[in-house]
Amino acid sequence: MNKFLLLILLGASSSLFSQKVSRERVIEVLSHLASDEMKGRETGTPENDAAALYIAKKFAENNLSFCFGDSYLVPFEYKGKVVYNVCGIKKGESEKTIAFSAHFDHIGTSDKTEDKVFNGADDNASGVTAVIGLADYFKTGKTDFSLMYIAFNGEEKGMKGSKAIVDIPNLQEQHQNISALFNFEMIATVSQFGPNTLYMTGDGFSDLDELFNGNAVNNLKIYPDPYLKQKLFYRSDNVSFVKKKIIAHSLSTVDMSKAKHYHQLNDDLEIVDFDNLTQLINNFGKTVEKLTPKNFKPIYNNTVNFN
């Protein structure tokens, strides 16, 4: 990690003075997760465990309750090792829940080049930063919805973590209370639709984007998925919840037709637009503040495949 670059980023001026979650906080979290010391956060490694513990610490700082049991760490087995998802919840006025999720694992290291670490700044330290940022945003005050925060492990290994957590018997009641799960997947860059925008995979399968956009603040907007041929809806952790008929979509900004950093060694801090990411987190939080179980009831249509 280029520490000189990090100092420049931390010291840079920003026009986002009114934001509840600061640009500096966003830089701090993303830079830690995408640091060389994390060695690419590959599932089953000590660094992956360290990333899970770091996320759990941030959940504790935000006074989240455990999803169940006595820890934010939710274990599952991967290749004979115990590894962890991370889950916390903030109780609202209703048991109805909005969930925010992202996977924190990445693909590890390379022994073929001088730069050996796949830092995964966009994929998916950016998404986890949004989840932690939203926990920061809602630390104080009450919301109509309860809010669940999930950091999945093992996405790069075939969505192992989301498949494990969605089947935990003690979480079934909480899962069934989820009105919508927003899964953040690679949101470090400005989307092809411009700043302060995301696109939603599987937008044609539900009315989630229409309902969200109808309440969106500060010109935040979710656009339809422009990469339908890639079937992204079925390729990320949201699909584990879809199979339970829970409204769950992934949100992204990455241009899949042009991006040259996907699973590459250059997926580092240099490609992150911190101003845009900070803006997205804050405007997302401001929008969720407006949502209630009465005005936000997304449903699937009959075109989605639940198998």
Question: What is the per-residue pLDDT for 5?
Answer: 53
- Reply yes or no on whether the pLDDT at 294 is more than 50: yes
What token pair was written down for 11? 């010291």
Q: Quick one: pLDDT band at residue 111, thresholds 50, 70, 90?
A: confident
Domains of the chain: 3-289 (3.40.630.10)
Mean pLDDT of 112-119: 88
Percent of the chain whose predicted confidence (pLDDT) is above 90:
89
- Reply yes or no on whether the pLDDT at 12 is more than 80: no
**What letter does residue 227 receive in the DSSP assignment?**
-
Q: What is the DSSP string of the chain?
A: --HHHHHHHHHS--S-TT-SS-HHHHHHHHHHHTSGGGGGGBTTSHHHHHHHHHHHHHHHHTTPEESSTT-SEEEEEETTEEEEEEEEEE--SSS-EEEEEEE--B--B-SSSSS-B---IIIIIIHHHHHHHHHHHTSSS--SSEEEEEEES-GGGTSHHHHHHTT-GGGHHHHHTEEEEEEE---SS-BTTBTTEEEETTGGGBSHHHHHHTT--TT-EEEEPS-GGG-GGGSSTHHHHHTTT--EEEEE---TTT-S-TTSTT-SGGG--HHHHHHHHHHHHHHHHH--TTT----B-TT----
Strand partners, 303: none
Residues 222/209, Cβ–Cβ less than 8 Å? yes
- pLDDT: which is higher, 297 or 115: 297
Mean pLDDT of 278-294: 97
| CA distances for 230 relative to 162, 225, 243, angstroms | 21, 10, 19
